[in-house]
A and B are shown apart, each in its own frame.
Chain A
Amino acid sequence: MTMKLQAVQIATGSNDRESRLVSEDGMLVAILVQLSGEHGALAGKWFLEVGFGPVKDIHAPLFDDLETAKVWISSRLADIASND
């Protein structure tokens, strides 16, 4: 399994633009957005803007960095894989 991140800019309707498309084995599984300065002390953290399939979680935590986000996304994918 290979996870890839692709830098993109996303029009969220806010100042949160810096984003990553997260793909696993060529399939888009999530979109991460870096919080801008309008989020105060949380600026710089990564937010799960969209998760697909098992990665969807409206209560997902914020991530300090992309590596942490990748670990979390991988764990969600692994949970589903182990249940198959």
Chain B
Amino acid sequence: MASRHAQPDKAGTGYLGSVAGLAQPIERNAKSNMRGSRARPWNRPAEPTCLHEPVTALAVCPTDASPTNPDLPSPPPTPRFHMSNPLVRKLEGFGLLSDADRAVLERISANAQLIGQRVDMIREGDTPDGVILIMEGIACRQKHRANGARQITAYLLPGDACDLDVALLTQMDHTITTLSACRVVRLPLDFVKRLTDEHPAIARSLRLSSLVDEATLREWLVNVGCRSAVERIAHLFCELLIRLQVVGFASEDSYEFPVTQLDLADTVGLSNVHVNRSLQELRRQGVIELKGRTLKILDVQRLKSIAEFNANYLHLGAWATA
């Protein structure tokens, strides 16, 4: 019998490290994949309570408020933020933010909700009702064919905001699904409007982020249309290294990559067999190392050379030319 035995959803062992390390790869099973990715609806988390406050009020973190002394002028608030917040890091990569901008971003992302892996956060055909912020983990945009085949069209990484202009649309034309467990925030559309109205620097950075999303989609189109199997994977690994470095989720050469071989195959438009061969080839050349869920790039320059990687489409200034 033709074998269709492996179920991607069952696989704790299906990550690239185990595959490239000669453990059992996940075999494509388009139908089970479709069921798997659609079987678990997202129990939408409650919105953070701070979202019900005016946007401007969010700029001042209550924990930083000084005791009121009527005899002295109140010192200006000194919001306490740290640069580990991926949303702040991502948006600061596109332009200067004020302390108030950073503080409001810290506040709205403080109560991110944990969502399990392979959960649809919003599905094709649904009415959009908010902007999703990814704070941890990896999610994706994907489309399914009736026969179960799937194409992943974008990876959503920490700091990414999904569909800023989604309020203009009446229904989703694709599905957003978690690939790994994620921490996410959902911002109501009216809140996003107030946020961008009252914080023009944030609005500008979010707009730039959307433009980069479009540029990235173009680059992915080039990937599946013009590059070989090895080149496609090399290009994706280069892109993810930079995008994750920007938000503090990658070292100079390594990052967590909790994506199965099946996911990767559906990302780069290849069969599982060709993905596995390509990973083995990159390992044989001493370019990458996969251990568990960690991808270590042993030779970054070589990987960029294989992919003919040019990070200009990410529009990240110093990051892109590093």
Within 31-54 of A, Cβ neighbours of B (below 8 Å) are at: 35, 37-42, 45, 47
Q: Which residues from B are CB-within-8-Å of A14?
A: 277, 280-281
Q: Which residues from A are CB-within-8-Å of B280?
A: 14, 38
- State which of B25-33, B90-98, B176-184, B289-297 sits at the interface with chain A: B25-33
Given that A13-B277, A40-B22 are contacting pairs, would A63 and B2 also be in contact in the complex, using a CB cutoff of 8 Å?
yes
Number of A-B contacts (CB under 8 A): 55
CB distance from A55 to the nearest CB of B (A): 14
- Whether A64 sits at the interface, judged by CB under 8 Å, is yes
Whether A40 and B23, one on each chain, are in contact in the complex, defined by CB atoms closer than 8 angstroms, is yes
A38's partner among B3, B27, B28, B276 (CB-CB below 8 A) is B276
B residues engaging A (CB < 8 A)? 1-4, 19, 22-25, 27-28, 30, 147, 149, 271, 273, 276-277, 280-281
Q: Can you give 8 A-B contacts (C-beta < 8 A)?
A: A38-B22, A38-B280, A40-B19, A47-B273, A59-B28, A61-B4, A61-B28, A62-B273
| Given A40-B22, A61-B2, 14 new contacts (CB under 8 A) | A14-B277, A16-B273, A16-B277, A40-B25, A42-B3, A45-B3, A47-B273, A59-B28, A61-B3, A61-B28, A62-B27, A64-B2, A64-B3, A68-B2
A residues engaging B (CB < 8 A)? 12-14, 16, 35, 37-42, 45, 47, 58-59, 61-64, 68, 72
